[in-house]
Structure 1
Amino acid sequence: LGDSTVLGYSLRAFSLCHYVHEIVVVTKQEWVEDTKTWISSEKFDKVSAVVVGGDTRQKSAANGFYAASSRFSYVAIHDAARPFIKTDDITQIFEAAFQYQAGCAAHPVTDTIKTVNSKGMITSTVPRKNLFAVQTPQIFKKTLYEAALAVMKKENSMVTDDCMMAEHAGFTVKLVDIGHYNIKLTTPEDYALAKAKLAMEDI
């Protein structure tokens, strides 16, 4: 993407955050060795390990968590597919986590949200006043994250993101509105939008 890999943008942003002392990269088995070689060549000195993910997001995040050293007090989970995250916003979310034990990037929902039935027919309109779209990073106090993982293991439960895991375990999470810029590259259209965004920033 531009003059870097997609992963490179996030690694630079996190490496520049003074609250970040160690980074663990989680990836596919077949990408581990190439990723290690590339990280070494780019001199991302805060990266301590490259580990294999699991078959779900929850398992992948847990693998990264357990691969880190025991010295940390807070953990940040981030999707490398969100390459535009800014160091200032990472810092802001850390500070929310310091105050509330858990903090998460988010932005207000601007689309009108509908619920539908099994036939795709609208059943209701959801008031969007209090609706936020959740992003990453999602940052947690270490002891909170450990407790949430323990609940998931005990119940054999699976959730789709780490904030949901914390909520399920009975914890609250502070949302930090960082705006809409932190897009996730999921489809070819997202990638085209990201390239256009970079081109606009270079003008």
Structure 2
Amino acid sequence: MTNPAFSLIIPAAGQGKRMQSETPKPYLELKGITILERTLSAFSEISGLCQVIVSTSSQYEEQTRKLLKRKFPDISVDVVSGGRERQHSIYNALMVVLDEADLIAVHDAVRPFVLDSTISQCLRKAYETGGAIPGVPVKDTIKRVDSKGFITQTPDRTDLWQAQTPQIFKKEILLKAYKNAIKKDFLGTDDASLVEAIGERVSVVKGNRNNFKITYPLDFRIAELLTDENYHG
């Protein structure tokens, strides 16, 4: 089954502070290949992809442009400047999305292990409902804690899910959500939260726990082990 036409946005302007590295996380190498390139590889064979946009810091723009042209020689590729927050970086990318794209997928630069099946399921669900994200049920007990460090609530975890990416939406919905966020000076925790803020419903597709975000040194070590198991790259 052919997927709807979609543009892929990869925000890659983040720093490596929590990774304890001077190199931004997307540009760290996993077994000789940058995390960003491995992440892009996850989308290289997905049908419907018509454009890839990466937002990054100025010192990595040329490197990223060369990577995109090599990785995706037959489709439109763009590099835009990153913003102060992830949300601003994505908005900059939204300004160059192609007219032909029906959907926009936003995926974290440091989630290289997303499965083809997860991407395609989210694309089809988003085309059907307007928006879809992958997620996994929360496995730990969650506590709500007040400013003094005392537990105030233990939510029932049966209906709690951990959000992942790619977060995919019909183009007009995501553009409306971002324009609303700018107008109201609202900073969301992910793209879905911006879409929720305009009253749109977002579907959740069950994802895979290997689709984690490489944030801390331990995550990087786990990613090295997964890379040895012949994942994308």
TM-score range, shorter chain: over 0.9
Q: Secondary structure, in 3 states, of the residue corresponding to 1:145?
A: helix
Q: 1:179 Cα shift?
A: 2.3
For residue 157 of structure 1, what is the aligned residue in structure 2? 186
CA distance, structure 1, for counterparts of residue 113 and residue 76 of structure 2? 19
Q: What residue is the counterpart of 1:8 in the other structure? A: 37
Match of 2:59 in 1: 30
- Is the partner of 1:26 in helix, strand or coil? strand
- Letter paired with 1:16: E
Q: Which residue of 2 aligns with 1:128?
A: 157
Q: Tell whether the 8 Å contact from 2:94 to 2:175 is kept in structure 1 after alignment.
A: no
Alignment partner, residue 65 of structure 1: 94
Q: Give the deviation of 1:37 after TM superposition.
A: 2.2
Distance 1:36 1:179 in 2: 30
Contact 1:57–1:160 under 8 Å retained in 2: no
Unpaired segments ≥5 residues, structure 1:
none
Q: Contact (CA 8 Å) 2:130, 2:170: kept in 1 or not?
A: yes
Checking the alignment, whether the CA contact within 8 Å between 2:144 and 2:155 is kept in structure 1 is yes
For structure 2, list consecutive stretches of 5 or more residues without a partner in the other structure.
1-29
Q: Distance in 1 between matches of 2:32 and 2:188?
A: 35
Displacement of 1:110 in angstroms is: 0.4
Q: Are residues 1:82 and 2:115 paired? A: no
**C-alpha distance in 2 between matches for 1:98 and 1:43:** 24
Whether 2:141 is the aligned partner of 1:116: answer no
Q: State the SS of the aligned residue for 2:119.
A: helix
What is the identity, as a one-letter code, of the residue corresponding to 1:65? Answer: L
Percent sequence identity is 34
1:52 corresponds in structure 2 to 81
TM-score, normalisation: structure 2: 0.82
Shift in Å, 1:68: 2.2
Report the Cα distance in structure 2 between the residues aligned to 1:201 and 1:39, rounded to whole angstroms: 22
Match in the other structure for 1:193: 222
Structure 1 counterpart SS, 2:164: strand
Decide whether the 8 Å contact of 1:106 with 1:135 is kept in 2: yes
The normalised TM-score by structure 1 is: 0.93
CA RMSD of aligned residues (A): 1.6
Q: Mean alpha-carbon deviation: is it higher for 35-44 or for 145-154?
A: 35-44
